[in-house]
């Protein structure tokens, strides 16, 4: 659906040229939810803006639905943009228009007749769950409702691609969930390809099928979300994963325990997909002379299947611990011995 080929973007600034996007090639398939995660300044905003030519690439090609966007005339590009819509972190609604008029805006741009617009706006208001709010002004809505208007507006012209620019970063966790659910719903219902950028791993975990990690203008790692959870390669990816699986208080607690019992070993087990059900802990306790102290565990759902982590502490003879760890390595789980020096 979307192909980026060796795309670069250089900004000329007073302090010399800055490489915002540095040689990125990506393929995004029809109907998938593709996430791009990175810290601010990684170049993800520039990257997503090149998918509708709000930023033109310095070199390289961007093609969406088989069209090379940079080669289009102004008129053809405006037409193409009606099929690549976008939602924004700060919603970017027109305050001078009501909810219904905001949703009608892209239809006016596309030259849709008045009756048709009215009908389509009513459908969209129902689709995003804003019945009865059509005549409100954006200033009378909550953040979540504003983003719903943004989504309805983006869907008005039946786009093929929806670009989400930090669409949930200004929302509280509960509202974020409801907006993410809405995105998954429209992805399934309309078969829409969604590309989103974010700095929150939770957003990636909850709705993305595949993810690319960006750092300093480059994609440093990409793959199916579950694959990345299982075997993160880059340091920055592990950093992002910590947001989801390893909250700060866990890290603190583990440090404390490791200090108190230096002879014990703390181990993180990762259960991916169907293997989450295997009774590995029971086997360890039965087969080896070690005691197992369960510290913390969680299971979360991704679009590719469940994903669980379990932190345990093994106590006993050093050689027995080593054998137990070796046994766990042979099972269908990822094992990581946690090292917390200091």
Partner 1 sequence: MLTNLFPHVEWDAILDATYETLYMSAVTILATFILGLILGLVLFLTGKGNMWQNRFFNGIIAAVINVFRSIPFIILIILLLPFTNAIVGDIIGADAALPALIIGAAPFYARMVEIGLREVDRGVIEAARSMGAGAGQIIFKVLIPESLPALISGITVTGIAIIGYTAMAGIVGAGGLGNMAYLQGFQRDQTDVTFVATVIILVIVFVIQIIGDTVTRRLDKR
The CB-side HSE value for 48 (13 A sphere, CA atoms) comes to 27
Q: Which of 3, 67, 92, 293 binds partner 1 (CB under 8 A)?
A: 92
Question: Which residue(s) pair with 16 in the sheet?
Answer: 13
Please pick, from the candidates 1, 110, 127, 281, the single residue that binds partner 1 as defined by CB under 8 A.
110
Interface with partner 1 includes 90 (CB under 8 A)?
A: yes
Out of 45, 85, 168, 302, the only residue in the binding site for partner 1 (CB under 8 A) is 85
Q: For residues 120 and 31, what is the distance between their CA atoms, to the nearest angstrom?
A: 23
Among 5, 67, 88, 253, which residue sits at the site for partner 1 (rule: CB under 8 A)?
88
Beta bridge partners of 296: 311
- CA distances from residue 291 to 143, 150, 154, 259 in whole angstroms, order as listed: 50, 54, 56, 18
Provide the greatest CA pair distance for the chain.
79
State the nearest-atom distance from the C-beta of 168 to partner 1, in Å. 16
In angstroms, the CA 240 to CA 213 distance is 9
Distance from C-alpha of 143 to C-alpha of 276, rounded to nearest angstrom: 37
Distance of alpha carbon 152 from alpha carbon 104, whole angstroms: 9
Nearest distance in Å: CB 94, partner 1: 6
CA 150 to chain CA mean position, Å: 19
Examine residue 105 and tell whether it contacts partner 1 (CB under 8 A).
Answer: yes
**Which CB, 170 or 292, lies closer to partner 1?**
170
The single residue among 31, 60, 97, 296 that binds partner 1, judged by CB under 8 A, is 97
Total residues binding partner 1 (CB under 8 A): 31
β-pairing, 334-337 with 290-302? unpaired
Residue 158: CB minimum distance to partner 1, A: 13
Q: Of 49 and 205, which CB lies nearer to partner 1 in the complex structure?
A: 49
Instruction: Based on the shown chain and the rule CB under 8 A, indicate whether residue 18 belongs to the binding site for partner 1.
Output: no
Which of 154, 166, 1, 3 lies closest to 82 in space, CA to CA?
154
Least separation in angstroms between CB 44 and partner 1: 16
User: Which residue in 6, 18, 71, 109 binds partner 1 (CB under 8 A)?
Assistant: 109
Give, in degrees to the nearest 5, the angle at Cα 179 between 178 and 183: 120
Q: Which stretch binds partner 1 (CB under 8 A): 85-93, 177-185, 186-194, 229-237?
A: 85-93
List the one residue out of 326, 322, 327 whose CA is nearest residue 264.
Answer: 322
Per-residue contact string for residues 52-71; x = within reach of partner 1 by CB under 8 A: x-x-----------------
- List the one residue from 36, 93, 151, 180 that touches partner 1 (CB under 8 A): 93
User: Is residue 114 a contact residue for partner 1 (CB under 8 A)?
Assistant: no
In angstroms, what CA-CA distances link 296 with 145, 252, 313?
A: 36, 12, 10
Binding site residues, partner 1, CB under 8 A = 52, 54, 74, 77-82, 84-86, 88, 90, 92-97, 105-106, 108-110, 137-139, 153, 157, 163
């Amino acid at each position: 659906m979307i192909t980026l080929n060796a795309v670069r973007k250089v900004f000329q600034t007073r302090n010399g040229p800055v490489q915002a996007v540095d040689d990125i090639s990506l393929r995004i398939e029809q109907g998938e939810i593709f996430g791009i995660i990175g810290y601010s300044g990684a170049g993800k905003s520039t990257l997503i803006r090149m998918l509708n030519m709000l930023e033109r690439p310095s070199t390289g090609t961007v093609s969406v639905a088989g069209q090379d966007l940079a080669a289009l005339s102004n008129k053809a590009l405006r037409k193409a943009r009606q099929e690549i819509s976008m939602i924004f972190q700060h919603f970017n609604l027109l305050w001078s228009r009501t909810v219904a008029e905001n949703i009608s805006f892209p239809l006016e741009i596309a030259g849709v007749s008045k009756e048709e617009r009215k009908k389509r706006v009513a459908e969209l208001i129902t689709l995003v769950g804003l019945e009865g709010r059509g005549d409100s002004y954006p200033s009378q809505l909550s953040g979540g409702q504003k983003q719903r208007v943004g989504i309805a507006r983006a869907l008005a012209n039946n786009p093929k691609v929806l670009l989400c620019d930090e669409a949930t970063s200004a929302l509280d966790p509960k509202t974020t969930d409801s907006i993410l659910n809405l995105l998954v719903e429209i992805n399934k219902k309309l078969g829409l390809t969604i590309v989103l950028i974010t700095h929150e791993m939770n957003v990636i975990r909850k709705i993305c099928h595949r993810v690319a990690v960006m750092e300093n203008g480059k994609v440093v790692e990409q793959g199916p979300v579950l694959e990345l959870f299982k075997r993160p390669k880059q340091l920055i990816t592990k950093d992002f994963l910590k947001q989801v699986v390893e909250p700060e208080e866990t890290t603190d607690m583990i440090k404390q325990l490791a200090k108190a019992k230096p002879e014990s070993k703390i181990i993180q087990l990762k259960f991916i997909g169907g293997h989450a059900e295997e009774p590995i802990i029971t086997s360890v306790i039965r087969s080896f002379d070690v005691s197992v102290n369960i510290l913390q565990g969680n299971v979360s759902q991704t679009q590719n299947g469940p994903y669980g982590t379990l932190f345990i502490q093994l106590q006993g003879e050093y050689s027995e611990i080593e054998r137990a760890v070796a046994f766990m390595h042979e099972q269908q789980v990822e094992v990581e011995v946690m090292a917390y020096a200091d």
